[in-house]
């Protein structure tokens, strides 16, 4: 989920050159406040079981 949030931040907030660190911090905090206020969520497209089946070769199951 962190990768999804970073991608949204880059696309929605950091899509331009920002002059200094203070402006970057202010812009990022304003973006995060707005996003949290809107209570954005992730709309997962498949179940955990389906994900495990599809990604089995990338993330093998651990044996208990």
pTM: 0.57
Specify the residue for token string 């991608």: 7
Q: Tell me the C-alpha distance between 54 and 22, whole Å.
A: 43
Q: Tell me if residue 43 falls in helix, strand or coil.
A: coil
CB 37 within 8 A of CB 23: no
pLDDT tens readout for residues 33-59: 998 898 877 788 888 888 888 888 877
Q: Give 26 or 57, the one with higher predicted confidence.
A: 26
State how far the alpha carbon of 12 is from the alpha carbons of 31, 48, 52, 63, 64, in Å. Answer: 8, 29, 31, 41, 42
Q: Tell me the C-alpha distance between 3 and 28, whole Å.
A: 16
Spell out the domain ranges in the chain: 2-39
């Amino acid at each position: 989920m962190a990768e999804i949030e970073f991608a949204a931040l880059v696309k929605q907030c950091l899509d331009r050159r920002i002059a200094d660190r203070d402006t970057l911090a202010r812009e990022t905090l304003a973006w995060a406040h707005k996003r949290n206020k809107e209570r954005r969520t992730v709309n997962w497209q498949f179940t955990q079981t389906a994900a495990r089946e599809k990604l089995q070769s990338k993330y093998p199951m651990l044996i208990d």
